[in-house]
Structure 1
């Protein structure tokens, strides 16, 4: 009996140690890995932008309308985004003055360990349609930990090295299920009736993350529209200078 009790105690200690190590890995080490990976992605993008000839920028402009009256944007390039490769850097002032994350092409697990992921079937940055992006709410740097704080009117700013794109959130956060693919449609139309759908073509933005905070049974979503563009040579957009 004494041997059984001792063996059971040692087994409990081993299991407890493994659980603690797993929690440390999830809460701390994945964040360290994500911070290093995202910083590397941003550095890589910035080096690429420095070494790439700057194309003619789109005309700058502003618009308060969430539809086809959004400012002119560059025509989509013929060459598609490369899976797993960085395409832009995103800034969301509401989530912190130092909040910035790279956006990579694709939404697979390996991509989301390095930053935010662009839904491959959705529009290109600044183009007509829906530029949709996913990100972890917890683990791997917690990029969207404070997602519920987002409100209509908040700015979401992205750059591709030649142009600043300022989107404005129109609706959300909205809670839905993972199978609600309408939220990333070219004209966002959620499953739930009267749930923040749009009525016509525009240059939209969709951000998604997991819900609840430590689960993945549902999704939180916000939608926005392209409000302004300006070439990077004109400096940072006003939304980042407040």
Structure 2
């Protein structure tokens, strides 16, 4: 019976091995990039959005509790037998300052803290998000918060209350900012009051360096004719555009139309 001798398989050529290793490396790199994209577009959104919602809940719960305590103190300030204690000069009398939640010209802006101090609600977008001082990514925006530009007006005060937020990733609170139209309303709630702003104008695209849009009297320094020419009570919302880029800025302007004390 003949004996069959099996020879060894021919060794792969160096070029073939190199191509094989290169293909493996490309596949591995592709999987890593896919995971990074999933992390940025899904996981960071989920984490930041959940944390922002939790913070908004915490702020509103704290304000509600303080309002209840204030009401209890007010009820306890009356004397026994129904006699009302003397409270001094009534609020609003000549020469007395307005309460802190009333817009006051020249009121101090306060130091930036990067702590959330307000809650922005935009019904058309189904948005409820905390507002914090500053527009740094690590300290504010990447937490899913909306950032309050330094040296711009406080909520409800004269001037321009200017805000920035991510359009994509990290909670993306301003993802659908382009859907806002004149007449849409938004509210900014603080410890002392709820301020209602009404959308008035939009600027679909401008330069990231267009500082005029967040000036006290907001007016684009890049797109002539866009903005305002007189002092008022404004809000400005800014975000990147087009989506998934940071080449330009989208701007929405509104005016203060109502204020309700807590």
- The two structures have a TM-score, normalised by structure 2, of 0.76
Pair 220,141 (structure 1): closer, same or farther in 2 beyond 3 Å: same
- Displacement of 1:196: 2.5
* Among candidates 113, 120, 124, match of residue 142 of structure 2: 113
What residue number does 2:35 align with? Answer: 21
Q: Tell me, yes or no, if the aligned pair for 2:53 and 2:128 is still in contact at 8 Å.
A: no
Q: Secondary structure at the match of 2:254?
A: strand
| 1:166 and 2:196 correspond | yes
Among 9, 12, 27, the alignment partner of 2:26 is 12
**What aligned pairs does 1:217-236 form with structure 2 within 5 A after superposition?**
217-232=247-262
Given that 1:148 and 1:173 are in contact with CA atoms closer than 8 Å, whether structure 2 keeps it comes out as no
Distance in 2 (CA, whole Å) between partners of 1:46 and 1:22 is 35
How many residue pairs were aligned?
217
Q: Does 1:185 align with 2:215?
A: yes
Deviation by residue 1:15-38 (Cα, 9 ceiling, x = unmatched):
111110111011101101211220
Higher-RCO chain (CA-CA 8 Å, sequence separation at least 6): 1
How well do the aligned residues superpose, as a CA RMSD in angstroms?
A: 2.4
Partner of 1:62: none
Distance 1:193 1:29 in 2: 37
- In the other structure, the counterpart of 2:44 is 30
Q: Distance in 2 between matches of 1:78 and 1:191?
A: 26
Q: 2:128 aligns with which of 100, 109, 112?
A: 100
Partner Cα distance (1:36, 1:94) in 2:
20
TM-score, structure 1 as length reference? 0.82
Pairing of 1:1-242 with structure 2 (within 5 A)? 1-50=15-64, 52=66, 73-75=102-104, 78=108, 80-96=110-126, 99-110=127-138, 111-114=140-143, 115-192=145-222, 194-232=224-262
Q: Deviations over 1:122-166 (max 9, x none)?
A: 001100010000001111122111111111111011100331100
| Gap regions ≥5 residues in structure 2 | 1-14, 75-90, 93-100
Separation (CA, whole Å) in 1 of partners of 2:153 and 2:53: 25
CA-to-aligned-CA distance 1:162-206 (integer Å, 9 cap, x gap): 311000111114311011000000001111454332121111000
In 2, are the aligned partners of 1:88 and 1:159 still within 8 Å (CA)?
Answer: yes
- The Cα shift of 1:51 comes to 5.4
